[in-house]
Chains A and B, each alone.
Chain A
Amino acid sequence: MNPRLLPYVLILPVTLFLCLFFLYPFVLVAQQAFSNGSGFTMSNFRDVTEHWKFPISLKNTFLLALAVVPIQLALSLLMATMVTKMKKGRDLILYVWTIPLGISDLAAGIIWLAIFEQSGFLNSMMGGLGLIDSPTNFLSYTSPVMVFVAIMLAEIWRATAIMLVILVAGIGLIPKEYYEAGEVFGATPWQRFLKITLPMLRPSLQTALVLRVILAFEVFAVVQALGGTLFPVLMGETYAYQFELLNGGAAAAIALIILAISITFTLIIMRALRVPKGATI
């Protein structure tokens, strides 16, 4: 076989698969979003954006992403640095920390619901310690902050590991000699982190952040389990349009809006963390 063709032949199956199960449905969804059965229209977009719940769910989605992702970034960097420094038991710790990765997001939501609900662990523990007289309902409409905090905690618990894994791999690729050079030339551990680890980790940070931010805009099951209708988010609205209001066109329109937001943020992150021209990392 012509060696110049071989690479293309090798990626052909995957390309076909993606076209069939991703690109084609995507075109269908786009079609659905921009049509009302007779021709091109923006009415689906108008309908969903003019609905009173849209600004709230948009705000909630952004708020949650804004609250969760920076904490996860800091946490995963800290955890990755710690794991890298470990000599023994490193793999074990990494396995334990990545357990939440193996749990579906709905299951994660339910686990945290079991903690926060009125008959949950938190209430019985506080009751057992004599801190409260009677169980309180943390997740009610009277305590929106508590609902938000519960969702935040669940999201951080559930989805920090994906960033951690990427960053651990990235840090492992940085040659030790750079740190030794940093030490010899007077960089403190904190300076070595800022001046060597972070810049050299840029490609991994890009991947981790893009992945995490996209997932944050698609947040659904955890919110559904803990907040229900108290905390509407964009993906929840998509679900509601599709399966409760049976309005496929509107659901497709919201899905495309989420996609647009995701693409925008991906581009922003790629640009912000780009490697300077000429530098090779």
Chain B
Amino acid sequence: MAVIEIKNVAKRFGEYQALHDINLTIADQEFMVLLGASGCGKSTLLRIICGLETATEGEIWIGGKRVDHLAPKDRGISMVFQNYAVFPHLTVFENIGFGLRMQKMSNDDVKRRVERTAGLMHIEQLLTRYSGELSGGQRQRVAVARALAMEPDVILMDEPLSNLDALLRMEMRAELKGVLAESNTTAIYVTHDQVEAMSMADRISVMHEGKIVQAASPIEVYRNPAAEFVAGFIGNPPMNFLEATPQGGGKFSVAGHSFDGPSAANSNLQFAIRPEDMTLAENGFPAVAKVVEPLGAHLLVTCELDGKLFRAILDSEMQVKPGETLKLAPVKDRIRWFDPETTLAVA
């Protein structure tokens, strides 16, 4: 049982403010992904929770106990490192059992636990090998097994799959999610890969410039981005933005078309729509196709609309040529609005 509470955590490195007033509660056994571009502070936050870094301000609570003054080993956590940090001078067995040995656990118990976790990660046959004799994927499994062997309340992962090739990453993603769900641990997973975040997370915390911009379920983050940054970061390609000017009565003019917008707003807004939420319709926006990318499952068309680049995902059967003018209409209930002043979503 371990709820993690991050209360008013800030971190400064000299003049540089890496984290601003972070508040986040992670439920017991939740799989939380910290998602953001490099330099957004996600790894710093993870290292503060872990105890490898100390916060300049704020508190960390794990399982109802304040831990920010405790050493990493007394926090009930374990960690999977980005470069695995599998000790090259120890066998796989001793690597997985490293933390248990440090706890002075008896040989029999170490053996039992190591064999069980190795079984979970399907590396029983590698126990006598050294890390230099393993592939990247196998090393990754050892690193996860070592963390699981501690039977921690919380498991922290810092971009654990980023060094694997694409196919292996997809395979490990599903497997890791399964293993973690079975181990009943709370997990915090740092990544810059939104596909990883979307597919694995119970909740995603999108981080930007040392702040958490939105913490919500993957589908919520995708469908209802809380801020322009999230809308422009999540999704491949991300949301399209167009200028919207108020016409009164909750109506907004977007590229010459009128849409129902947030009734309370009476200033310029950003109209946002996902590329896949565009359909061809007679009364749509006239958009000139610039680049046509047939991606197999669908067709990605980059057009010019209202003087800006605008992307639409269309059916792969469509025949579109560059230079052609398309009539694109948004799916009405998928339209989102952002206030350019605050960059936040307006309903």
Q: Which residues of A contact B (CB under 8 A)?
A: 175, 177-178, 180-187, 191, 195-196, 199-200, 202, 275-276, 278-281
Contact = CB atoms under 8 A, between A and B. Distances in A.
Name, among A186, A187, A280, A281, the residue most crowded by chain B CB atoms within 10 Å (CB to CB): A186
A181 B87 contact: yes
Contacts of B241: none
B72 interface: yes
Contact of B88 (A180, A183, A184, A279): A279
Chain A, interface SS category: helix
A106 B131 CA distance: 48
Interface in B285-314: none
A178 B85 contact: yes
Interface stretch (B76-84, B222-230, B324-332): B76-84
Contacts of B103: 186
Given A200-B88, A278-B133, A184 B52 contact: yes
B71 interface: yes
Contact of B71 (A183, A191, A195): A183
Given A187-B102, A200-B89, A280 B73 contact: no
Interface in B20-48: none
B271 to A, nearest CB: 46
A129 B90 CA distance: 56
A281 B89 contact: yes
A181 B73 CA distance: 10
Interface string B127-158: 00111110000000000001000100000000
Contacts of B99: 184-186
A180 B85 contact: yes
Nearest to B99: A185
A177 to B, nearest CB: 4
Interface residues of B, number: 28
5 contacts: A175-B83, A183-B71, A187-B98, A199-B89, A275-B89
B123 to A, nearest CB: 16
B73 A177 contact: no
B102 A185 contact: yes
Nearest to A188: B102
A183 B52 contact: yes
Contacts of A187: 98, 102
B198 interface: no
A220 B73 CA distance: 51
Given A185-B98, A186-B103, A180 B130 contact: no
B98 A180 contact: no
Given A183-B73, A278-B130, A191 B102 contact: yes
A181 B89 contact: no
Given A183-B71, A195-B98, A279-B89, 9 more contacts: A180-B85, A183-B72, A185-B99, A185-B146, A186-B72, A200-B89, A276-B130, A279-B130, A279-B131
5 smallest CB-CB distances across A and B, nearest first, come from: A280-B132, A185-B99, A186-B73, A186-B102, A181-B85
B50 interface: yes
A231 B209 CA distance: 70
A173 to B, nearest CB: 12
A196 B50 contact: no
Contacts of A181: 79, 81, 85, 87, 98
B89 A184 contact: no
A276 B77 CA distance: 31
A279 B132 contact: yes
A189 to B, nearest CB: 11
Given A183-B72, A185-B78, A191-B102, A278 B85 contact: no
B131 A280 contact: yes
Contacts of A279: 88-90, 130-132
A139 B146 CA distance: 59
A279 B85 CA distance: 14
A200 B130 CA distance: 13
Contact of A281 (B51, B88, B146): B88
Contacts of B82: 177
Contact of B89 (A182, A186, A191, A276): A276
A178 B102 CA distance: 15
A279 B77 CA distance: 28
A278 B130 CA distance: 6
A180 B52 contact: yes
Name, among B82, B90, B98, B150, the residue most crowded by chain A CB atoms within 10 Å (CB to CB): B98
Contacts of A281: 88-89
Contact of A178 (B72, B87, B129, B146): B87
A187 B102 CA distance: 6
A177 B88 CA distance: 12
B79 A184 contact: yes
Contacts of B50: 184
Nearest to B75: A184
B71 to A, nearest CB: 7
Interface in B253-291: none
A279 B50 CA distance: 29
Nearest to A180: B52
Interface string B113-134: 0000000000000000111110
A184 to B, nearest CB: 5
Contact of A184 (B72, B129, B130): B72
Interface string B99-112: 10011000000000
Nearest to A201: B89
A117 B150 CA distance: 62
Nearest to A200: B89
Contacts of A276: 89, 130
